A and B are shown apart, each in its own frame.
Chain A
């Protein structure tokens, strides 16, 4: 496996020994709370405050829908929630956070590689497979729990993901679940490759799979969403798809375009969208990393807007936005600041989550520590399925 850790010499180079990771994570959470209280006027919540009873009652569980967005490859507070970073996330700060329950301390104790970390989010178990291998998660996914317990058809659970490596994330290799029981995974960039086959352009850069290993794209494995299904399921001709793609500036914009098409035409009850543009940070160009954050901020607001305007989603949908993990701090000499997420320091492990929409008490900040693996059991409690093999626990403030 190719996970990088800080080297020994870099550790020796370190001039300062940090406080304990737990203390640093707590401090990060406190800082986030203060940033948000100052900038967005949010109040501090507690575990005793559940979601709004009225909001909950208004949402019948039969119609309940959930959209999850993973926030693009990880971004640090200093480029987002800290005072100097808030200019990069105007949509989150002004539109989404005031409507959300915000969790300031979501700790990821797993492997900080995007595919394996997203798989951990999806299963509620810290997966340990090779981040760069086209393998399914070992533990059942949220999509499998959802479909099996609620007897939902395949069309009711979808994943929109950035790269070939994510093609297996829709269903696990667990013997009680597995093939045919999970979500349909759609890889918009891969679709675009298929649509452009035979064209004259050089799309190598566009189709780059992974910013951590930019010259490498794993083979596709698992069930593949076929180009022909574009027209059949999404009511989108290949020509229209190509034409629209030519107006977009990034792969995440393409993902959101496809996600909106899915919401309009298929209206799945469980939709998972993985953003990835921010991870351009691995190339070391700070301005491109900032551009990625600003774009992701805008795209999150677009999805929220779509939720509010699509009849199938309006009023009955809960949106979750969370990074899979953070990025290294400037202070850890073993890393190179924003560029990577290799040190495993507190900053790269301590992220956040916002929930908004149906069943969520808006405008509240929760400081207590939760884990990335808590998301799936929480979704289970919200949607009435049992995430029986997940390691995490339901978040009571959302139930």
Chain B
């Protein structure tokens, strides 16, 4: 089936708001090439569980597509139209299973050497869309905070090597009540600019007491969910004929209730958390990976005004000789390795924040928890500087805001 054959009733299995949206714009969808429309429907079908900026972006994109003349549509999508599909792809149920279709399309693009052409078409389209429907600036300058190195005594190599060039390095930061100070600052921002899912606290371990105005995700709180997920994954891979593709499809279909989450919870947040575990690689095993990926996905999807991510020590990766000796050390942690992970994770968090609108006014702080080192980045702070003047975290936050 091709998009030109689309009919409103074919969206009957979509969640209510997604169904209405797809039905309203079916005429626009009919004009799009298959290689594009399925990936758009993949977003639409999850509309009921999207964060506010994502919803707004989908609405604006559909409205824009609807406003294009036939000639404009042809021009906008000529890159996608030149991608050759296959009869097998066209037979897939891309309306009700767009994510699986996109996965198959991806394999098709790789194996037919069309990935570069697809990349170009996607980037061209994104640039056109951005020009036609510019993303909205944030309601206030964004602030990102990364707290790294919990439990690490020291480090062999210099910290923040990638971030120092972007701001000021401070070597005499007063660490007292540091995490509480930062959480208070984040809570104050949440109260000053209240909006759903706009202020986040992500913890790679046990979350600390925090203001309920913050949206909180923590590795510890998801422990029962992770345990159920790992059990299910182990169970599935024992089944005959099970392969990575099937496993991935099963994971993508998992709902919060399938993993023991209460049906009465926050449906949007619960879906988000499940996706962190089912779509993220390594998030089920390593807390540092979880924290980095959660921060990335929060920035990409929720586009928050404030994000505090606190990394915690991950479990130690056992070397082969220990495994062979039958030594089990699931509970043993690796603070030194986790500090290295989190140092890179904080850099990625900064990069991801700077991909959002308002980057020129955004600020970022990374602090080695319990220690004296930090890097602060903000519009008013000179880059590539270093200071050994005693300072506290509140002062740093004031300087970068």
Contact = CB atoms under 8 A, between A and B. Distances in A.
Interface in A34-88: 84
Interface stretch (A3-11, A145-153, A259-267, A376-384): A3-11
Interface string A202-245: 11011000001111101000000000000000000000001001
Nearest to B343: A286
Contact of B323 (A11, A205, A218): A205
A162 to B, nearest CB: 12
Contacts of A200: 326
Contact of B237 (A110, A216, A253, A282): A216
A340 interface: yes
Interface string B100-141: 001111110111110110110011011101100000000000
A176 interface: no
Contact of A287 (B116, B126, B340): B340
Given A1-B111, A8-B43, A200-B326, A283 B348 contact: no
Given A12-B129, A216-B243, A201 B323 contact: yes
Nearest to A338: B344
B282 A282 contact: yes
A248 B320 contact: yes
Contacts of A280: 317
B126 A14 contact: yes
Contacts of A286: 340-341, 343-345
Contacts of A314: none
Interface string A246-264: 1111110110000000000
Given A8-B122, A287-B338, A109 B320 contact: no
A100 B79 CA distance: 43
Interface in A325-362: 330-331, 333, 336-340, 343-345
B281 A132 contact: no
Nearest to B57: A12
Given A5-B115, A254-B320, A283 B281 contact: yes
Contacts of B39: 7-8
A395 B3 CA distance: 47
B116 A5 contact: no
Q: Identify whether the interface residues of A are mostly helix, strand, loop, or mixed.
A: loop
Contacts of B283: 284
Contacts of B343: 286
Given A126-B113, A203-B324, A248-B320, A6 B245 contact: no
Given A245-B320, A282-B282, A287 B106 contact: no
A248 B326 contact: no
A290 interface: yes
B31 interface: no
B348 A330 contact: yes
A39 B380 CA distance: 37
Contact of B348 (A202, A336, A343, A344): A336
A200 B324 CA distance: 10
Given A6-B119, A284-B289, A132 B348 contact: no
B340 A290 contact: yes
Contacts of A205: 318, 323
B321 interface: yes
A214 B288 CA distance: 17
A144 B222 CA distance: 52
Interface stretch (B171-179, B292-300, B369-377): B292-300
A396 interface: no
Contacts of B328: 202
Contacts, number: 185
B326 A284 contact: no
B118 A5 contact: yes
B154 to A, nearest CB: 15
A286 B162 CA distance: 14
Interface string B288-330: 1100110010001000000000000010011111011110100
A6 B106 CA distance: 9
A206 B323 contact: yes
Interface in B27-63: 36, 39-40, 42-43, 57
Nearest to A109: B113
Contacts of B351: 330-331
A285 B317 contact: yes
Contacts of A330: 347-348, 351
Contacts of A287: 334, 336-338, 340-341
B277 to A, nearest CB: 13
Interface in A101-124: 109-112
B355 interface: yes
Task: Identify which of A4, A214, A285, A343 gathers the most chain B CB atoms within 10 Å of its CB.
Answer: A285
3 closest pairs, A vs B, by CB?
A284-B289, A1-B107, A283-B282
Interface of A: 1-15, 17, 21, 84, 109-112, 126, 128, 130, 132-133, 196, 200-203, 205-206, 212-216, 218, 242, 245-251, 253-254, 280, 282-288, 290-291, 330-331, 333, 336-340, 343-345
18 contacts: A5-B109, A5-B115, A5-B118, A6-B122, A7-B39, A8-B40, A10-B300, A112-B110, A128-B112, A130-B107, A214-B285, A245-B320, A246-B321, A249-B321, A284-B292, A330-B351, A339-B282, A340-B281
Given A3-B110, A245-B324, A333-B355, 4 more contacts: A205-B318, A215-B237, A246-B325, A285-B317
